[in-house]
DNA sequence: TGTACTTAGTCAGGATACCTGACGATCAGG
DNA sequence: CCTGATCGTCAGGTATCCTGACTAAGTACA
C-alpha cells in the first residue's frame, strides 16, 4: 500500500528522512534532559565548539542570513548555552563561546546523535550506510562549490 | 576553510542538501512559469496524480496531520491546480483530482525535477547517485515500518 | 585625511510549514 | 440506536526561514 520511496523524487526522500531524523532527535533530547534544544540550535552549538565563532561566519557556514542565525544565537544565549564576548580586534563583532553548561550539553547531545546514527547504520548495514553518507557529503560539496552560477 | 561535510552529523547533511535542492527547484519552477507552486505542494500534486486521492490518505502518506495537509490542498485549490468532488460513498469525504491545468503543471514540474536530478547525477556519477538514492529509500522504508516503537 | 565601499549585527515585518486541541458531521459495528 | 472511529475544518500557536532598511565600525585608496 505505501508506495515504495524509490519512486519518489530525491527531494521528497530527503525531506522525509530529515523530518524523521529530526523527530527522533527531539525525542532523544527530551529524554536526555534537553527539552529546550532544537535541532538547528544543535548544529550551531556544534559549530561553535571549543574554539568559539562569530555570528557572520556561522551564517555563511550554514548558508543562511545573518538575521536567521542571529535568532538562533539569541535563543541559545537566553537558554544559557552560549555566551558573547567582545572581539578585541573588531568592535562591531562579538565572539560566541559555549558556556560550561553549553559544553556539557553539546557533548551529551553529540552522543544522542551518534546513537541515532548507529541505529540507522544497523538498518541498512554499516558499509552501505557510510558509502551513502560519503556520497551525500560529496554531492553537497559539489553543490556548494559551483552553486548554479 | 569550509569544513568538509563528511564530518557533519547526518541530520545536518540531509538538511542542507534538502534546502539546496529546494532552492534550485523553486528557481526552476519560477523560470518554468510556475512561481506559485511550492515544493510541498508539488509532492501533493504528484501524489494526487491521475487517480485522484483523499486528503486523509495524503496526510498519512506524507506523515503529517490532516490540518497541515488541508492547508496545502486549500492553496492548491485556490491556485486552480486541484479540484474537489464529493465522494459518492462517503458524504464526509471529498475526492481530490487534478484540474486540466494541474495536469499540465504536474507534468512540466516533473521534468524540471528530473533535470535537477540529472545534474546531481552528473556531479557524483550515475551509479553512485543511484546507489545513494536506493539506500536512502531503503532507510526510509525501514524507519517507517518500525518507527521507534 | 577624507571619502567610499564593505562588513557585523540588529530591528521590523512577513511567508511557509508545521503543530495541538476542539469541533460537527458522518460512517460502521455491534 | 448507541458508541467509537474517521473526514475534514476552525482557531490559534510555534519554528525557521526570508527581505529590506538601518547603525556602527572596519578597510582601502586617492
pLDDT at B8: 84
Using the CB atom, is residue B21 less than 7 Å from strand D? no
Rounded CA-CA distance A50/B68 in Å is: 40
Rounded CA-CA distance A139/A135 in Å is: 6
Sequence-ordered alpha helix ranges (H) in B1-65: 10-31, 39-48, 55-61
Within a domain: A100: yes
Q: How far apart are the first and last CA of chain A?
A: 42
Within a domain: A94: yes
Q: Each residue's pLDDT tens digit in chain B (149 positions)?
A: 456 677 788 999 999 999 999 999 999 999 999 999 998 999 999 999 989 999 999 999 999 999 999 999 999 999 999 999 999 999 999 999 999 999 999 999 999 999 999 999 999 999 999 999 999 999 998 987 655 43
B9 touches chain A (CB under 8 A): yes
**Contact between A13 and B46 (Cβ < 8 Å):** no
**Residue B144 cell numbers, joined:** 517507517
Radius of gyration (Cα) for chain A, nearest Å? Answer: 18
Only one residue has cell 552549538, namely A45
Half-sphere exposure of A39 (CA within 13 A, CB side): 20
B138 touches chain A (CB under 8 A): yes
Find the CATH number of the domain harbouring A139: 1.10.10.10
CB contact under 8 A, B137 and A13: yes
pLDDT at B4: 66
Nucleic chain C: which protein residues 9-68 of A have CB below 7 A from it? Answer: 15, 19, 54-57, 66-67
Quick one: average pLDDT of A16-29?
Answer: 92
**Contact between B81 and B45 (Cβ < 8 Å):** yes
Within a domain: A3: no
Would the pLDDT of A146 be above 70? no
Number of domains in chain B: 1
A82-86 and B82-86: which strand pairing?
Answer: unpaired
H/E element holding A113? helix A100-124
pLDDT in tens, B52-70: 999 999 999 999 999 999 9
Nearest to B143 among A6, A14, A20 (CB): A20
Residue B51 has phi, psi (to 5 degrees) of -95, -10
Using the CB atom, is residue A67 less than 7 Å from strand D? yes
Query: In chain B, where do the E strands start and end?
Result: 53-54, 82-86, 94-98
Distance B2 CA to D23 C1' (A): 30
pLDDT at B1: 46
**Domain that residue B85 falls in:** 5-145
Rounded CA-CA distance A81/A17 in Å is: 28
Question: Can you name the residues that pair with A82 across neighbouring β-strands?
Answer: A98
pLDDT at A140: 92
Query: In chain A, where do the E strands start and end?
Result: 53-54, 82-86, 94-98
**Contact between A58 and A43 (Cβ < 8 Å):** no
Q: How confident is the model at residue A1 (pLDDT cuts 50, 70, 90)?
A: very low
Amino acid at each position: 500500500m505505501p508506495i515504495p520511496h524509490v519512486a519518489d523524487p530525491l527531494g521528497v526522500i530527503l525531506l522525509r528522512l530529515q523530518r524523521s531524523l529530526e523527530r527522533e532527535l527531539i525525542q532523544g533530547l527530551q529524554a536526555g534532559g534537553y527539552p529546550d534544544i532544537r535541532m538547528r540550535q544543535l548544529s550551531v552549538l556544534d559549530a561553535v565548539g571549543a574554539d568559539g565563532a562569530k555570528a557572520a561566519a556561522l551564517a555563511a557556514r550554514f548558508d543562511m542570513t545573518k538575521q536567521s542565525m542571529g535568532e538562533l544565537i539569541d535563543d541559545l544565549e537566553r537558554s544559557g548555552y552560549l555566551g558573547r564576548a567582545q572581539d578585541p580586534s573588531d568592535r562591531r563583532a562579538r565572539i560566541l563561546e559555549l558556556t560550561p553548561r553549553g559544553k556539557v550539553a553539546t557533548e551529551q547531545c553529540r552522543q544522542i546523535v551518534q546513537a541515532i546514527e548507529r541505529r540507522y547504520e544497523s538498518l541498512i548495514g554499516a558499509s552501505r550506510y557510510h558509502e551513502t553518507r560519503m556520497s551525500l557529503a560529496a554531492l553537497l560539496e559539489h553543490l556548494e562549490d559551483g552553486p548554479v552560477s
